[in-house]
Structure 1
């Protein structure tokens, strides 16, 4: 009887732990401010949880455009410079054109020049997406224009390839 109770408690504990871990990533993707606050109140270290694919909660929130959760994570100790297989939180914000979150990351001194697995920076991504306003924002924040990706191209070379005169002129 004691073994059964112990086994039951162990299984229950594993299930609760697994569901909490799963829930934190669900909160990052589609939760709201009260969800993330509750999660944070229960476990302050959850702000830097990494999912099974290597993405942080902040990166997931940024890719999903979940601004209020991403903002909370930024303000409450999330690793702003964590690099996953899908890049960084800044790259996710550039990809989704999340200007307000980019501003918040810049205010918190995010490293603008981190690279993804292909050696691309957030600036290079903004250039590739022909997002002139994002390019301006990153340049104003002093993103490095001389870095080269694994294909040995700079942001300027991506701009030339894109044929976007305004971005080309910004990078000259």
Structure 2
């Protein structure tokens, strides 16, 4: 009986310890800046790795809406575009309507003209999402309005589909 109790306690301690060991991808999704700083202290290059699915920590932070971590990572990563088959961090921030993150990524040199595997650019997504603030940010960052996606549509085509004069005017100015 004592052995069973001992084994139960050990298994709880081991599982608790294993759970507390956070990796950079978990920290990007759900963690804090302090979590990321702790991981960087152990391995400075940890923020530049890509997971088995092709995501960088910055891209994950953008997709998960972990704005504070995304903004922190934007100034630290080697490749702000961190391009993968799932798009760039900028694309993730645009897709998730994270205006503050989009602003910071662009300030750190994110390329607004990189497209995903479907040829869809951040500007295409911003128009599809009808986010006028992000559309304006991308246009001001010299996003190309004439780039075609795999369907053959440009940002101007998508703007016209919205039938929103303000969006159309932001694109065709």
Normalising by structure 1, we get a TM-score of 0.84
Query: Which deviations, in whole Å up to 9, do the C-alpha atoms of 1:22-74 show, x marking residues without a partner?
Result: 72111010000110000011111111111111111000001111122112211
- The 5 A counterparts of 1:80-99 are 80-99=80-99
Q: Secondary structure at the match of 1:123?
A: helix
Unaligned runs of 5+ in 1: 1-17
Q: Which residue of 1 aligns with 2:28?
A: 28
Q: Which residue of 1 aligns with 2:132?
A: 132
Q: Distance in 2 between matches of 1:75 and 1:129?
A: 26
Unaligned runs of 5+ in 2: 1-17
Seen in structure 2, the aligned counterparts of structure 1 residues 114 and 171 have a Cα distance that, compared at 3 Å, is same
- The 5 A counterparts of 1:73-84 are 73-84=73-84
Residue 163 of structure 2 corresponds to residue 159 of structure 1: no
Q: Distance in 2 between matches of 1:50 and 1:21?
A: 18
- The 5 A counterparts of 1:1-172 are 23-172=23-172
In the TM superposition, residue 100 of structure 1 has moved relative to its aligned partner by: 1.3
Normalising by structure 2, we get a TM-score of 0.83
Q: Distance in 2 between matches of 1:80 and 1:90?
A: 8
Seen in structure 2, the aligned counterparts of structure 1 residues 19 and 107 have a Cα distance that, compared at 3 Å, is same
In the TM superposition, residue 21 of structure 1 has moved relative to its aligned partner by: 9.5
Decide whether the 8 Å contact of 1:59 with 1:89 is kept in 2: yes
Q: Distance in 2 between matches of 1:51 and 1:65?
A: 18
RMSD of equivalent CA atoms: 1.9
User: Displaced runs of 4+ in structure 1, greater than 3 A?
Assistant: 18-22
Q: Secondary structure at the match of 2:23?
A: helix
In the TM superposition, residue 20 of structure 1 has moved relative to its aligned partner by: 10
Q: Count the aligned residue pairs.
A: 155
Q: Secondary structure at the match of 1:110?
A: coil
In the TM superposition, residue 133 of structure 1 has moved relative to its aligned partner by: 1.4
Decide whether the 8 Å contact of 2:71 with 2:105 is kept in 1: no
